[in-house]
Structures are given as structure tokens and as C-alpha cells.
Amino acid sequence: MAGQLTRVRRSLFAVHPARTLVMAFGAVILLGAFLLTLPVSSEEGAATGFVTALFTSTSAVCVTGLVVVDTGTYWSGFGEGVILALIQVGGFGIMTMASLLALLVSGKLRLRMQLTAQAETKSLGIGDVRRVLLGVAGTTLAVELAVGAWLALRFRFGYDQSIADAAYSGLFHAVSAFNNAGFGLHVDSLTPYAQDPWVTLPIALAVILGGLGFPVLLELLRHRTRRRLTGRRTWSLHTRMTLVTTVALLLTGTVLTCLLEWTNPGTLGRFDWDEKFLNGFFHSAMSRTAGFNAVDIGAMHASTLLMTCTLMFIGGGSAGTAGGIKVTTFAVLAAAIWAEVRGEPNSSVMGRRLAPHVLRQALTVALLAVGLVIGATLALLTVSSAPMEAVLFEAVSAFGTVGLSTGITADFPDSGQLVLILLMFVGRLGPVTLVSALALRERTRRYQLPEERPVIG
């Protein structure tokens, strides 16, 4: 009997870290859905349907921001508190938070927990996990408190809100922004502040910082890596790729949004030229998996929606609060294309040769993401009469854990909302993580097959 209990215990806990992440995220989503179904969670004091609660819980834990009911009017204070807690847990990482709690309680981390935390934080070595966990906690707390305090002051003195309302609204939007969640307390998101840079720019900054990824933030904060001879600071290839690609995408999104929507009376056309650039930049930043909107997404041209889909699909930095295939994946694929066009045998980025398995990983992530989005779009089109561009936009927004919407999310039937739930879940964990979690064991081929080259193109 004791031997059977031991085997059962081992089967429960001796699980691949990636698979543990999937189960942990699923457990927290179900817990959040249960809490949101309680009558105390709704403003009217009535029980909420399970699909609605599950959709909201998934959107919060997966830091997406898509909603089927308005956050500020439907949910009570308790419900909003549950959503805020789910956003924080999802952004920080369930396994990261569990590891940090174990570290604070016992002062040390078990090997399996370190491996699990490593899978969540993408740290390079087991010895780095303790430093990464503390850095993640400190960075998260510092950014959220700073942005929350700034927004609270602006809401208090700029919009005459009470001290309690201003503090709560500032903290809620700061946590939602840094975790790239996109949940707001207004029916129309941040459109009331479209002409106020003192609100939109701090939120955009928090979104960008959260979307860079914790490894990049920690490396930028440490300032320890220096050239021994020149004394100049150097960054890792991952940090340089993330920063350069992020800046390029932000600028591209800003320029294209302004060009495409400059005269559109439903979006940028009603603003002065400086406010057009402000909202063009804000939309570009929010398209990188944040979900806030200061202009009506449903009033945008189809060309702008397609451009936004591209930004949402790429997403933000790895090991952060952003979704999508990640900017490093996009950069690796671009480097491979450039190398093939030039006829070079190896792909290189910024003076560094990329390992072949890095390109295979990037291709796997991108192609799995394309297949998932196309399949989900087809499924949604069968249950909805909305235009194809709007349905595709919702699917990409869900997969990229963005939260931007043309306004048709609540119109989907339960089956369509379940499809979006699956997209948000997979988009947060990542296709490769999900596939590796479902794999029973890793297989190593101990032989090489004969080589042959098929015709390409």
C-alpha cells in the first residue's frame, strides 16, 4: 500500500515543468471562474453564467482584456478585485509566484521548483532563478506603484475624482497596463482620455516595459555587463534584438496608423495634428498586446485593422507579459529570410551567428500560430455573421492576448466564446510550451537518415 501511494505521489509531482505550467494556469482560471459566478461578484447581486465567468477569468489570467460584459458596470467591487488579482497572478506567472512564496518561506528552492520557475521566467541557469524571481517581484512592484501613483494624481486633480476613486482607478489601470491586460473601468476603455497625454503616455510606458520581458528589464537595470577593455556596457543578443525590433515596430505602427487614419472622422480625423500623433503612437503601443484603446477600433479602416493584426500577431518580448509569437521570433525569421536571399549558409544577427535549432524553434512557433489562428477564424465564421476582417481581428487579438476588439466579442454565442477562450489560453502559454506539456517524453534520435533535397517553390 505504501509503495502504491509513493508511485501515485511521484506520478502527480514528477511532471515536466511546462506541463505543470499548463495545469497551474488551468487551475487558477477555473478558480477565478468559480469566484466570478458568485452573486457577490456582480453589481446586481445575481449569479453570473459559467461561460461568461470562464471567459472573463481566462481573459484576466491570460492578461488579454477581451470582455463579454463591461468590467466597470457589470462587476461589483469584489468582482473587480478578483479580476485584478487574476491579472496580477497571470502577469507575474503562476509558477514564478509559487516559487517566490517558497523562497520567502523556506529561504531556498527545491530543484524541481527551480526547473519549473526556469521554464516560466526563461532564465538561463538554475542558479539565476533566485535572482530572477526577486528581480521580477521588485520590478513589477516598482513600476505598478509609480504608474499607479501618477495616474491617481492625474485623476484626482485633473478630473476631480475623490481620493479613494482616483487611487483605485490609478492602481487598477497601472496593474492592467504593466501586465498588458487591457482591462479598464470605463465602458469605452480610455477614449475619455484620448486627448490627455498625462494619462495615455504613462499607460503606454507601462505597457512597453511589461512587454519587453523580464530578462530584458533586469539586464537593463543591472548595468553589470561591460567590455573589459573599453569599459563600455554591452547587452546580450536577446536584449539588443528585443529593443531594436520593439522600437522599429512601434515607429512603423505609429506611422502607418497616422497615414491610414489621418482623415477618418471616426478615429484620428477629429483631432489636431499633435493629438493624431499621440493617438497613433498609443494605438501602436497597445497593439503590442495591451488592449486599451483611445479611439473606436470598430470605426477603423480595413487596412488599419490588417496592420494591427500584424502587430498583434508579432506581440512583444519573450518571458514578459506580452503575447504573440514574440519579437525575437519575428527577428530570427527575418534574419533567416535575409540570409537566404543573400545566399549565405548561416543566419546572423548583429554580428552573431544563430544556431540552427533557434531557427527551427522560430519556424515551429510561427507556423503553429498561423495554423491556430486560421483554424479558429474558420470556426468563428461558422457561428457568426460578422465580416471576415472583424472575426479575424478578434481571433488574432485573442491569440496575441491583446484585448483590442471591434465590438463583436459579446455577440459570439457560447461556442464562439469557447473558441476565444482556447485561443487566449494557448496564446498565453505559447504553442511550443503547450505541445511540450502534452508530450509524454522527449525522444532522441540516435541515427541519421539519408539526406535528400526536395524542390522548393
Domain range summary for the chain, segments of one domain joined by +:
15-224+235-438
DSSP 183-201: --SSTTTTGGGTT-HHHHH
Lowest-pLDDT range, 210-224, 334-348, 418-432?
210-224
- Which tens digit of pLDDT belongs to each residue from 164-218? 999 999 999 999 999 989 898 888 889 999 999 999 999 999 999 988 887 788 7
Of 309, 348, 312, 347, which is closest to residue 327 (Cα–Cα)? Answer: 312
Of 68, 69, 72, 123, which is closest to residue 93 (Cα–Cα)? Answer: 123
Report pLDDT for 444: 65
- Which tens digit of pLDDT belongs to each residue from 75-113? 999 999 999 999 998 888 765 754 554 454 445 555 555
Report pLDDT for 112: 57
Q: CA angle, 434 as apex, 432 and 436 as ends, to 5°?
A: 65
Is the predicted pLDDT of residue 67 greater than 60, yes or no? yes
- Please say whether the beta carbons of 244 and 285 come within 8 A: no
Query: For residues 91 and 110, what is the distance between their CA atoms, to the nearest angstrom?
Result: 23
Amino acid present at 299: A
Query: For residues 408 and 390, what is the distance between their CA atoms, to the nearest angstrom?
Result: 8
- Which tens digit of pLDDT belongs to each residue from 360-372? 888 888 999 999 9
Residue 425 vs residues 98, 204, 434, 439: alpha-carbon distances, Å: 20, 24, 9, 18
Is the predicted pLDDT of residue 6 greater than 60, yes or no? no
Q: CA angle, 431 as apex, 242 and 390 as ends, to 5°?
A: 85
DSSP 84-122: HHHHHHHHH-HHHHHHHHHHHHHSS--HHHHHHHHHHHT
Angle, to 10 degrees, between the axis of helix 302-314 and the axis of helix 388-399?
Answer: 20
Please tell me the pTM assigned to this model: 0.86
Of 169, 64, 174, which is closest to residue 404 (Cα–Cα)? Answer: 64
